[in-house]
Amino acid sequence: MILSCKSTSPPIVPLSQTPSPTSRPPSPITRQPVPDSGWLFLAPGFEQRTIEILEDGFTQSRETINILRLDPAFYRFEVGYQPGEPQTINAWQQASSAAVIMNANFFTPEWIATGLIISEGQIFGQSYGDFAGMVAIQDGTPAVRSLAQRPYDEAEVLSGAIQAFPMLIVDGQQAVTAENAGAETARRSVIGQDGQGRIVLLATSKGFFTLTALSSYLINSDLDLQMALNLDGGSSTGLIWQAESEAQFVGVRPLTPLPAVLLVYPRSLN
């Protein structure tokens, strides 16, 4: 719609009249962070939420928490792994056409994943001990578990798996305290499972949280997480998903290429 207005001739101002002072332009409006967007529906079984952790005074964001909640009835999960040949998260998306991509295992300077990783049914590496956790995927459905409670069994038939540490929440209880975690702050990435079996993917972008603070924050949130596992964070933290326009991917991008990723696809419900 094109708006127009009728023009009029400017009034004639006598020379003896003092012109009206020029009005000041309006002051620029500073956009304030939204503390909590609430859950936004993106597709059946797919919701997104953004939470800001604000400085005192409520004017400056100290952390942005990006959260996805996915129902495994509508979405299947896979693991992508290219040992020794890392890719940017954009390259992973273009090669896989996944709807969601997230960083996964810790890895060595040679770009080899540490701990156990299973991609397309192929097993790599050795399982961590009971200090760690695991995402076990069967028929595209993931389960987040503590290796202290349920160690990996070589007899398990899994299509995919990732391992990392530490567990942040186990059976709805905080699993990290100041006594068993360091005081380092960093960007964080987390995979969790709530009381309804939905998978919660979370990534922070500014490096505000220690592991203890993040574990405490999650257990006191309304996310209803029963299990939550810390994934490789810092410069590896990455979580991107398809925007509503379907023209681009948005989220938190890693500052380094990744040899291993978690891939999420819509299920065919025909």
**Of 191, 102, 117, 199, nearest in space to 158 by CA:** 117
The whole-number pLDDT of residue 167 equals 97
Query: What b-and-e string marks burial along 130-151, b requiring 16 or more CB atoms within 10 Å of the CB?
Result: eebbbbbbeeebbbbbbbeeee
Q: Please state the domain extents for the chain.
A: 76-266
**Alpha-carbon radius of gyration of the chain:** 24
**What does the block give as tokens for 114?**
């540490």
For residues 37 and 51, the answer to whether their CB atoms sit within 8 Å is yes
What letter represents residue 17's amino acid?
Q
pLDDT at position 57 is 56
Q: Give the span between the Cα atoms of 264 and 266, in whole angstroms.
A: 7
Are 159 and 121 in contact by the 8 Å Cβ rule? The answer is yes
pLDDT tens, per residue, the chain with 270 residues: 333 333 333 333 333 333 344 444 444 445 555 699 999 999 999 999 999 998 775 668 899 999 999 999 999 999 999 999 999 999 999 999 999 999 999 999 999 999 999 999 999 999 999 999 999 999 999 999 999 999 999 999 999 999 999 999 999 999 998 766 778 999 999 999 999 999 999 999 999 999 999 999 999 999 999 999 999 999 999 999 987 665 689 999 999 999 999 999 999 865
Q: Give the per-residue pLDDT at 27.
A: 45
Complete DSSP assignment for 198-242: -EEEEEESS--B-HHHHHHHHHTSSS-EEEEEE-S-GGG--EEEE
| pTM for this entry | 0.86
**Among candidates 115, 100, 94, which has minimal Cα distance to 200?**
100
Strands 260-266 and 75-81: antiparallel
Question: DSSP letters of 26-63?
Answer: PPPPPPPP-SB---EEEETTEEEEEEEEEPTTS-SEEE
Predicted pLDDT of residue 21:
41
Helix (H) or strand (E) holding 89: helix 89-96
Q: How far is CA 240 from CA 18, 93, 153, 249, in A?
A: 60, 9, 31, 6
Which residues have C-beta within 8 Å of that of residue 48, sequence separation ≥ 6? 37, 39, 40, 42, 66, 67, 68, 69, 241
* pLDDT in the model for residue 71: 98
Tokens 């990455």, residue located: 238
